[in-house]
Amino acid sequence: MKIIKDGKQILMFLSLCLIIPFFSIAQAKDEKQQTLNVAILVYNDVYVLDFTGPLEVFYDSYSKDGKHLFNVYTVSAKEEIKAHSGLKIIPDYNINSCPKPDIFIVPGGDLGLLKDQPEFKSWLINTANESKTLMSVCTGAFILADAGLLDSLNVTTWHGALENLKKMVPTANVMKGVRYTDNGKVVTTAGVSAGIDGSLFVVSKYFGKEAADATAKYMDYEYWK
């Protein structure tokens, strides 16, 4: 073991002892405050509030110094989408150009979305597996179920489709009367507007309940607790 005798060496050593923890804390804080990518899947017959509710939540979530906490964008296998209401949507990215998401949102609408689309199904599964958080909204749970992503999990969906989801994923615990379920990585929400609750919950998971509360207050969403 080397013994430090020189006074300057001692001062330098002590300074490093103070500086290194400071930079470690600062680095951890920066990592926590980094902007996270949120990809929202859109497709023909998607339910509008299923995807615009989460989009609004993540877009309206800010840090205390007024910076966006999330980079939110839509992605689709097609260049133009027509929602179930007839609303036309031009996605930000296609499945080949989409930036890697930290959070991947799958809204409801077309329960057979993955049928006869092996390339698209493979992309969805890979994207889901590589993301940090995967969230379905409403009947988007059936799309995740079709991809084999809900086995043995606590899940929920639109109240009128709970029994069908039980049949589709017999190993899952399909829950009634909840706004969302949390399985660590996989979050599922009940019907349509519950996507707002689920999204606020995801905000709280990453940045704390205070951040989620601030977003809910900004949106006048009094149902969030």
Rounded average pLDDT per 10-residue block, the chain, 225 residues: 48 47 42 82 97 98 94 94 95 96 97 93 97 98 97 98 97 97 98 97 97 96 84
| pLDDT for position 224 | 79
| pLDDT for position 34 | 82
C-alpha–C-alpha distance, residues 198 and 107, integer Å: 12
CB under 8 Å to 12, separation ≥6 — which residues? none
Chain center to CA of 8: 51
Answer whether 105's CB lies under 8 Å from 144's CB: no
Answer whether 159's CB lies under 8 Å from 179's CB: no
73 strand-pairing partners: 39
| pLDDT for position 223 | 84
Q: Cα torsion for 186, 188, 194, 197, to the nearest 10°?
A: -20
158 strand-pairing partners: none
Through-space distance between the first and last CA atoms of the chain, rounded to whole angstroms: 57
Answer whether 135's CB lies under 8 Å from 103's CB: yes
Of the candidates 39, 51, 82, 72, the residue with the CA atom closest to the CA atom of residue 192: 51
Tokens 């001692």 label which residue? 10
Count, residues in the chain: 225
| pLDDT for position 9 | 54
Where do runs of H (alpha helix) occur along the chain? 7-33, 48-59, 118-130, 140-146, 162-168, 194-207, 209-218
Answer whether 40's CB lies under 8 Å from 74's CB: yes
The SS3 call for residue 77 is coil
| pLDDT for position 225 | 76
The SS3 call for residue 174 is strand
